[in-house]
Amino acid sequence: KDPIYSCIIGQEGCDVSAIATFGIEINVLNVYPDEPKSNVFPGWMAAYGLNEKDPDGTAKKIVVDSVPISEFNANPNRYLKNGNNWKYDILVFGFWDCNYSRDLSQASRDATEAYLRANKAVVFGHDTITDYCGNHPQFNSLASYAGLTHLPNDPNNGNSSYHYPRS
CB 122 within 8 A of CB 91: yes
Q: For position 2, what pLDDT does the model report?
A: 37
Q: What CA–CA distance (Å, rounded) separates 138 from 106?
A: 7
Q: Which of 46, 45, 136 is nearest to 92 (CA)?
A: 45
- Start-to-end CA distance of the chain, whole Å, equals 19
Cβ-Cβ contacts under 8 Å for 54 (sequence gap 6 or more): 21, 23, 60, 61
Which runs of E-coded beta strand occur in 85-164? Answer: 85-86, 90-93, 121-124, 149-151, 161-163
Q: Phi and psi of 155, rounded to 5°?
A: -65, -20
CA 63 to chain CA mean position, Å? 14
Q: For residues 131 and 75, what is the distance between their CA atoms, to the nearest angstrom?
A: 26
Residue 76 CA to residue 91 CA, distance in Å, equals 11
pLDDT exceeds 80 at position 162? no
More confident residue, 21 or 143: 143
- Give the H or E element holding residue 16: helix 16-19
Cα separation of 155 and 123, whole Å?
Answer: 27
Res 5: pLDDT: 41
Q: Between these two residues, 152 and 28, which has the higher pLDDT value?
A: 28
pTM: 0.77
The CA dihedral of 144, 72, 79, 36, to the nearest 10 degrees, is -110
pLDDT digits (tens, 9 = 90+) for 54-82: 666 666 678 889 999 999 999 999 999 99
